[in-house]
Amino acid sequence: MSLPGRAWSSSRDPPQPSDRETGRPWLLTNVAAFLGEQLGVLRTAAGYASQEALAKALQAERSTVTKIETGARPPNDKLLLSWLDTCGTTGQLRTVLEGLGVLARAREDSARAKVAPWFETEAEAHTLRYWAPVIVPGLVQTEAYARELFTAMGLDDAKVAEFLEVRMGRQAIIDRPDPPDITIVLWEPVLHHQIGSPTVMRDQLARLVEMSRRPAITIHVLPSSLGANSGLGGAINLAATDDAPELLLSDGLVEDQLSQDPAVVRKARATFTNVRADALNRPDSRNRLMEAMERWSN
């Protein structure tokens, strides 16, 4: 059996070094690009001359098909199966392409896999602390606010839906019978940094006001009038459970970082303590949230 298209043609099997030198996307270097190339060949062989034609058949965006065929984004499982069904792909070839899809997604999700322990710990934590100098923490985001963030990352519709499901699912811990003790410190510019429309911002601020009234959730606002603060190096997320050392999730330039190193966690905890000490008390913070909400309402 051979895969369709140029990649494993009888005249060039296996690929020659010159192809690698010119940047040709081979399986060993870019699984998503290799898979995308094969799916593009399947598309044209099935009679879909354009990406737009296949996108209509798949009930997907043309940009999604483009990203898949160029290797910019591997298809999720549902879309890949639909693609193969639409193009009439069966047998061993289908099995191989499904396997490539798994590999491509595994590579893409490697960064997410590194921080997966955070979500497990967050779900089991008795104490959670968040310092947010840029955006509202995911645990208290509205779906519309989160959607704007994921869309701004350049994710396709399927990936946005997938990430939204995970993010909204995390928030279940807020409503459980024994919710964790949650403390959030927001830098005031977060309240005025427009994400999406004014309506999205108003609803997000309304949610924060509602959250601030819950006994297990404390929300502080650190006024921007204080100038520079010790937390401007990035967001801090701390989770404490009964059976493990406190876990830190911190922002990195390229990807988030996890740590249980006592010295690193201690430094993050000290930073959180400092920004919380300088922040407004609960009633004044709620008033500041309400003022910001009214601003977005006008």
pLDDT value for 107: 67
In what order do the strands lie in the sheet containing 127-132? 217-222, 181-187, 127-132, 236-240, 247-250, 257-259
CATH entry 3.30.870.10 includes domain 114-139+170-297:
yes
Q: φ and ψ at 210, to 5 degrees?
A: -65, -45
Give the whole-angstrom CA distance, residue 74 versus residue 104: 6
Residue type (1 letter), 86: T
pLDDT value for 120: 84
**pLDDT of 229 over the 70 cut:** yes
pLDDT value for 64: 86
Looking at the chain, the whole-number percentage of residues with pLDDT higher than 70 is 86
Q: Which of 130, 281, 279, 286 is nearest to 208 (CA)?
A: 286
Q: Which residue(s) pair with 130 in the sheet?
A: 184, 237
Q: Which residue(s) pair with 259 in the sheet?
A: 248
**pLDDT of 199 over the 70 cut:** yes
- Reduced 3-state DSSP string for the chain: CCCCCCCCCCCCCCCCHHHHHCCCCCCCCCHHHHHHHHHHHHHHHCCCCCHHHHHHHHCCCHHHHHHHHHCCCCCCHHHHHHHHHHCCCCHHHHHHHHHHHHHHHHHHCHHHHHHHHHHHHHHHCCEEEEEECCCCCHHHCCHHHHHHHHHHCCCCHHHHHHHHHHHHHHHHHHHCCCCCEEEEEEECHHHHCCCCCHHHHHHHHHHHHHHHCCCCEEEEEECHHHCCCCCCCCCEEEEECCCCCCEEEECCCCCCEEECCHHHHHHHHHHHHHHHHHCCCHHHHHHHHHHHHHHHHC
Give the whole-angstrom CA distance, residue 132 versus residue 137: 6
Question: What is this structure's pTM?
Answer: 0.66
Give the whole-angstrom CA distance, residue 268 versus residue 262: 10
Instruction: Kindly report, residue by residue over 126-173, the tens digit of the pLDDT.
Output: 999 999 999 999 999 999 999 999 999 888 888 898 889 889 989 999
- 17-108: CATH architecture: Orthogonal Bundle (1.10)
Looking at the chain, the whole-number percentage of residues with pLDDT higher than 90 is 63
Domain ranges, ordered by start, for the chain: 17-108, 114-139+170-297
The confidence band for 246, taking pLDDT boundaries of 50, 70 and 90, is very high
pLDDT value for 46: 95
195: number of Cβ within 10 Å: 19
- Cis ω on the peptide bond leading into residue 283 (within 30° of 0)? no
**pLDDT of 266 over the 90 cut:** yes
Instruction: Kindly report, residue by residue over 63-118, the tens digit of the pLDDT.
Output: 889 988 988 778 888 899 999 999 999 999 999 999 888 888 776 666 566 777 88
**pLDDT of 206 over the 50 cut:** yes
pLDDT value for 195: 96
